[in-house]
Structures are given as C-alpha cells and as structure tokens.
Amino acid sequence: MAKVYLSPAMHRQNECCYPRPDGQQCYEALENNEYIDILEPVLNRCGIETKRGYRRTPMSNEDGTAIMQQNVAESNAWGADVHYVSHTNASANGKAQGCHPMYYTYSANGKKLGEIMVKYRKEVYPRTVKLVARSDLYELKKTNAVAFYEEHAFHDNLEDITWFHTHMKEIAESAAKGLCEYFGLPYVEEAKPVEPVTMGNIILYGVDGDSGTWERVK
C-alpha cells in the first residue's frame, strides 16, 4: 500500500489574516492542521495509508522547528513513499497571491509528483499556480521519501487566504487525485448519500437501489 506522511506547518508566530468564525486568532499552523484533518480521510478512501505529524491544535508553546525535525525523523522511520508538507505563504506587503508548491531540486520523482499535483490544483485554484524547485528547505532535503511542499495561498492576503479556508475540501480532493495518479491508483469518488425511495407504505433504504432494508411507514 502506498504510504504518505502528512506534515502540517508548525509555525506559531505566522499569523493569518483570515477572520475565523470561531473568533480564534488564525495561525499558519492552525489552518494547515485543519486542512490535514480534511485531507487524511480522503487519501484513506483512495486506498492510501497515511501517518500525520504532530497535531499543533490548539496552539501550544513548543518549538516549531523541533517538531518539524521530529516529523521528518518519524516519516523516515515509517518508510513513507511521499512526504507531503502543508504550508501557507507570506509576502513583504500582503499583496501577493498564488499557489507556489515546491519540490526538491535534485529529485526527478519530486518534479514528476509536483507536475502532477499542479495539474490538478489548477482545476480548482482561481489564480496562478507555479511549481518551484528548492534545495534549501529541511523537509525537502532531509526526507527519504519523495517530498512535496504545499504553499496553498498567502495567509497575509485576505482574498487569497479566504479562498483557502472556504475550499479546503476541493483542495484535498485535488491533492488526492494527484497522489493517486502518481502512485498509479484509481481515484475513488466520495460516496453520495442516497435518498430513501417510498413505495406505497414502504420505504426502501439502500445504495443505488441495489440493496437495503425495508421499513414500513407507521
């Protein structure tokens, strides 16, 4: 079974400008942990085994760098096939927008995965999606697995980060499609709830009408 290690951002100091409905201050670590919560069951549905990094929610006072290094060590020990990193970006003036995912410069498989992931992200993200090669980031150069480093949107740009927060499910599905293609696995659609069918005084519950239980209406 394909194995993907999920490593959410751990930066407590990176505040996000999104006005959360729950009134909490938004941080890069908080929002990316919440995204991983959505992504993980989508990958499991597609037959991909997952292991997630440290859950920094609610926000705590641990050293984010130490946690990130711990995640890399855990990913390597677990034998992940892909190390998936989830971050949001920032700019000098808060005006930048865009999705700029990264791969390790010297990894041919990293580039291959990145190109696949970008193809599917362009289907859902309304602004620029640009794949970037980097050789200096710890989670790209220290992982044994093929690494893919998301920079979903800019958390200091209200329009960009609002899109991220309100489209996490679509982003997760696009990521799952990309990972499935990379591994050569079929993408499994989410099962849709089936409305019960009434036949006289009997209600049929089932999936696509193929099977179910019969219950008389009282």
- Average pLDDT in the chain: 90
Q: Are residues 41 and 104 in the same domain?
A: yes
More confident residue, 34 or 208: 34
Query: 141 in a domain, yes or no?
Result: yes
For residues 48-56, give the mean pLDDT. 90
| Dihedral angle computed from the Cα positions of residues 174, 180, 186 and 189, in that order, rounded to the nearest 10 degrees | -30
| Residue 88 maps to a domain | yes
List, for residues 137-185, the tens digit of each pLDDT value: 999 999 999 999 999 999 999 999 999 999 999 999 999 999 999 999 9
Pairing of strands 202-206, 212-216: antiparallel
Given the DSSP bridges, would you call strands 3-8 and 82-89 parallel, antiparallel or unpaired?
Answer: parallel
Same domain for 54 and 158? yes
Look at residue 197 and tell me whether its pLDDT is greater than 90: no
Share of the chain above pLDDT 70, in %: 86
Q: What are the phi and psi torsion angles at 3 (to 5°)?
A: -120, 125
Query: Are both 118 and 151 inside the same structural domain?
Result: yes
Q: How many domains does the chain have?
A: 2
Q: What pLDDT is recorded for position 203?
A: 64
The verdict on residue 208 lying in a domain is yes
Residues 150 and 202 in one domain: no
Q: Are residues 39 and 118 in the same domain?
A: yes
The answer on pLDDT for 36 being more than 60 is yes
The average pLDDT across 12-19 equals: 88
* DSSP 8-class letter at 4: E
User: Do 108 and 216 belong to one domain?
Assistant: no
Residue 188 lies in a domain: no
In the chain, % of residues over pLDDT 90:
76
Same domain, 127 and 68: yes
**DSSP codes of every residue in 6-58:** EEE---SS-EE----TT-PPEEHHHHHHHHHHHHHHHHHHTT-EEEE-----S
Residues 147 and 135: beta-carbon distance below 8 Å = no
Show the tokens assigned to 36: 């991983």
Same domain (yes/no): 136, 216: no
Which DSSP symbol is given to 130? -
Same domain? 120 vs 145: yes
Residue 59 sits in the same domain as residue 145: yes
Q: Please, which pLDDT band fits residue 199 given cuts at 50, 70 and 90? A: low
pLDDT of residue 210: 46
At 78-131, the pLDDT tens digits run: 999 999 999 999 999 999 999 999 999 999 999 999 999 999 999 999 999 999
Indicate if the pLDDT at residue 58 is higher than 70. no
Say yes or no: 49 and 75 in one domain.
yes
Full domain range(s) for residue 200:
193-218
Looking at the fold, whether 173 and 209 belong to one and the same domain comes out as no
